[in-house]
Structure 1
Amino acid sequence: MEALRAAAEEFASWDLLKTQHKDTFKCTRLKDVQNEIGLIQSQQLATRTMMNLRRVERFLKGMEHLEAVLVTLSPHDAPMIMAYIWGPIRYLLKTTHTTEKGMDNVLDVYEQLGCHLIPLYQYTDFFQSVPQGEECLYHIYQEIITFHRIAYRLFSLPNKLWQRLHRTKWTALRETFRHLADSLASHGQFIQNNGWSHRKAGATVHDDIQWLSPRIPMGTMTGNSAEAEFDYYRRTLNESRSNFEVQEEDRVRNMKERVLNWVQASSKTQALHKTFQCMRICPGTGRWIFKRYSKVNDWIQLEQPPESLLWLSSNRGFGKTVLASVIIDELRDLCHTTRHSIPKGSKVYYFYCQKEDPDSCTYLNVLKGILHQMIDNTSYLLPFFNDKVVSGGGPALAEADLAKIIMGAVLEFNPRQYILIDGLDECEKVEATQIARFFVKQAERFDSEIKQGRMRVMFISQPMPELVRDELTQGDDPCIALKPTDIAEDIRAYVKKRVIEFSTPRGTRNGFNLEDTDVAQIEGIICSRSEDMFLYAHLAIEYLLQQPDKGELREKIRGQMIPEKLEEIYEQLIGAMKSELFRLSDGEKQWQKSKLLLGWLACAKRPLQWHEMQAILSYNPINQTVDFDNRMLRQYIRTYLGSLVHILDGGHIRIIHPTARLYIIQNSHINQQAVKCDLGILCLRYLCLPCFSRNYDERSRKREAKLGWFSFQDYACSQWYTHIHTILVDCCNFLLFEDHDKEYQTKLGLALDLFIQTHGHDLEQTLHPGLGQSFVELAYFAEFPFFDNLRLVCNQIYIHQESVDETMRNLVGIPQIDNALQQNRTTIENNLKPSDKVFSGDTVEEYYGSNLFKCKRTLCRYFYLGYDDKKDRDEHDKRHERPYACPVNCSSAPIGFSTNASRERHVRLYHTELHDGPSIFRGLSRKSTPGGFTCYICKRQFTRKINLKGHERSHFDDRPYACSSCGKKFVRLNDCRRHEKNHRRKGA
């Protein structure tokens, strides 16, 4: 009985069992269950909703037999043990009887389990005389308790939530219920087989159940055979449970993988967080936020904080992103310990907005990033997620509305969640507004409708007064303006930690061997000049570390010649990097390569990966060859890019800060217009390689694939036309008036000549009538000798981009290049692996990265990111099979829609100017007055501010007016009132 008593106590101490239910369960008896059933039957009879409650009868009788046996074995313990059977039965019936499907499913499972129960009371002597007999009772009890745990966890959720989850969750549990029923059958069969000689057929507990006649076993169990039988029973039971658990783990893992692949969130969030953690080199960095700002502590720990939303702000370079990583780690630690007031099961979700990365600065991608974390950390809701994917989610998550529905279920399920979004100012205004509005509304909804503090949101950004004013409720005070003095100690600790590096060998020189007074002076100068800019402290140290010798270093610090402004320090950093490179052999050549790399990073149309930059360096546009073996850089990346970049896993490179990008394209070392021209010319010439021309033989394709010739094709094929447009818009004056001896005019002209010679037969020769309107800048090039070729290329770009066919827009736009691209990729996929060796020590991964299986659609980010497995790529391709595309290439719907209605709804919400087209009837002539109020999203004008507000709410599906009768919500108050009148008419 000790095992049974322990099982009951374990259920009673279960952390998901609510205190009020525990108190009720422990004093519930069989008569209470019978009374509850009688009450339910009376209610159903009165409302003419009778259900077949006899389905639970056999289960109740089976449990009555179990109780009779336990009373015989231990009269003192039996009531407590059985209370945790009777209590959950009563609770489940009482909770589900208000919903037909819920109660029907519970009764079905009770019937399924009851069919495999035997009249245990007839085998009382067996349990008394055979020492191992009680083990069978324990296993039967455990199967029932397992079912009650499963059912209680679902039906103890808030009423609306469990009704939303019930169908999908119960369907996913069918195999579990079948396993429990089969296990009960095994236990019963074992008792019947081995307790036959002890059975008393006349033993009864006053039931009229027609029990199945037991199969008469052969022979009688002796002492030795009993032990052997029990060993076999245990072994079979353990194998059955183990096999079932393995199957369940596989099922859950596959389901999670399918749902996460459907979400398609950016994979960089975790890598960024790890990078920011590594930047916290000093213990205690950022801990001041918890000591100086009580609002933050209250937001974290109070059961009902004064504010569920906090908005932290400070100037650029403060170190806000590192501070965000500190808060995230603190929240995670608190959620995983029981020493604090944070409820068990609380979750932390976060996102780092990055202006440099198009995957990290849009509303939809922020939702995807947080939803990915929710799905990954909420396995219980996987059936609900999977149902949304299967029943209408389409091949991939492409709509913010569906993401919000799924997130809503997670937010209601968790006891508490913290959501932190860093860098909101890195997003465009429209995107930032949508992000802020959604999470603010969610926090307000939870505070008013569910429970204050259940959902807590924190934004961290530069000051955004307009957004704060527009999106926060008047009277709220969630904003915390961080002070320059807040990080003074962190900066000092950081500088102290890093001055050690002045005694450490670095690059091509030894340590500086500084005296204590020099070290103290470095600390003093940097700390005093940093003010509220952690970025300055980091860059100043990097600048001093790049000094060539101790003499120059001491001259800088004793003369206080450290630059005071960021742009000055960037200039000096690049200058120091130049000096360091000149110490290498062929220093001038190395410096030119460094400038090329920095320019490409700053002017590329998307983030470049290291192997793509190596491909550009390895490409010789004059000889039209690619030579990785002799031309790729063998030095570490930082040798050429210094302290101006972050290097993430997978070869992803990010410029250290937006201010660094701004300086790179404005400094005296790098000519922004020249770099833009070079990239456009490079793409044109690269696409004229033999591998993109006609009659390219397969033997050459296989040989050159292994040599890395196709490494730059993903970028060139998807971005060539954007670089041509950039040349038109940004580089006209540079080509016309800059003093460079017409070098770039000649280079561009030759590149266009080669492109026309190679692909001219695929270009449309008839000029489109709309070309001049869309490419206005083209007229400025009329005097150039290459004008005809440029116009022909622009005409092809225009026709391709104006295509109404979304499939066509996802091609390169030139048939010969499209065919060559697919053939090149097929050759790579079929013949190469990332680990394959090339030449003596290089690998295919160094030439192409680790993901060789790419999406074929140029507008998809997996066109260049790719997958490491063909199966994953093929699954991704299926998600693109959505026939209805957004008429505008927008970030809210990158893949398209499965139905035309979904597309129309998207256009109505996000592209109002396309939805509100002109009437098919000619309107009466009337005087029109220009509107004085303009929508900042679609630029539509209104004469009344109230109409503008209603219109803006339609962009975000914001419906603040709810019907008092049915709860349906509306954008406009008049619409709500009109709807309520319909209720009143029906009532009348």
Structure 2
Amino acid sequence: MTRKKCWICGKCVHRRGEMKTHLQSHIEARKDECDICGKAYSTTAALRAHRTVHTVFDDHECDVCGEKCIGSRDLKIHRNTHNGVKGHECDICGRKFIWIGNFNRHLTRHMHIHTGIKDYTCQICGKAFTSLGNLKTHLNAHMGVKNYECEICGKAFTQHGDLKRHRNTHTGVKNYTCQICGKAFTLLGNLKTHGNIHTGVKNYECEICGKVFNQISNLKTHQNTHTGVKQYACQICGRAFIRHDDMKKHEKTHTGVKTYACQICGRVFTQIGDLKRHENIHTGFKNYECQICGKAFAMLGNLKTHGHIHTGVKQYICQICGKAFSQLSHLKTHGNTHTGVKNYVCQVCGKAFRQHSQLKIHENTHAGVKIYACQICGKAFSLLASLKRHGHTHTESRPMSVRSLED
């Protein structure tokens, strides 16, 4: 069995799990803290070396910017940042590094990029790195150490690069642009995930129904349809939604702002989706067809409501008399029979009706439209009731209500 050596103390262990536990002991053993900045170290020697960072050396001050350095070597390195002296150049790519005597560790580490040499290997997962600093940073991910904290929201990261990229989410900087559609992102990972939309790659599969998605966020949202979890709640009315986008769209209904106007009739809507569905009324486009009777509808909601006719489901119940209806509109119309409200008024004679259908039939009497014809003599009527009364003249069966009117 291969033995693994701790890069901190040199102790050897036999398993990766043991190495992880051992490294954690170094983190827990860091009891020596700097009394100036609070940073902790596992040994007194390491703490003593760190304290020199806070020590001010008046004789090592930069004559350009006034910054104080620790020792003449650090001052020499710092001055090169002002004069631009980069005496060490990579023979392969030409990248230059600041002059620090005859040997430059930065150039040496940089050369590993071209040679592929990775001398520093993680004893836990086996990942290799070109520098010891990168390995140490990587080990923080295994031990849960997050030294880099966002000063805006407090979120912490194991690597400084991750913190820098995270800051872009606050500043709005989007450095990663899709070469196909031009959409920009703050994180490279988001750009890569977005690329699946163009390539058609769907790597994320639902374990319940097998449906696949090109983004893991879409998969997580979809999984809520199986669990019924609605984690996005409206702050005004409390209505909850599975998707964050649906919740944001819903919140617009409370503002009363309707920015989407129909170019044909002028009706306005709070959501563009509602406008598009409304436009189907004018175009006659009916994309939603009933699989049972073939009747088509311009809106999906209307198709779903229509489906109750075939299933016999009547989920809308009158709270006064208990009568049930398959459609909400029918329940609302029925409610007028209890309240006596007549909202539908004839523009010709002023007569009011409880139902819109009753008004439309009544208007036929003014327009002279006669859509009800007798099957025996062919005589036509504007109202169905008039046709039924006329039918008695052929059967010689005359109701008392008719006779009393003639008397």
Shorter-normalised TM-score: what interval?
under 0.3
Between Structure 1 and Structure 2, the one with more helix by share is 1
- State the TM-score, normalizing by the size of structure 1: 0.11
- State the TM-score, normalizing by the size of structure 2: 0.21
Between Structure 1 and Structure 2, the one with more strand by share is 2
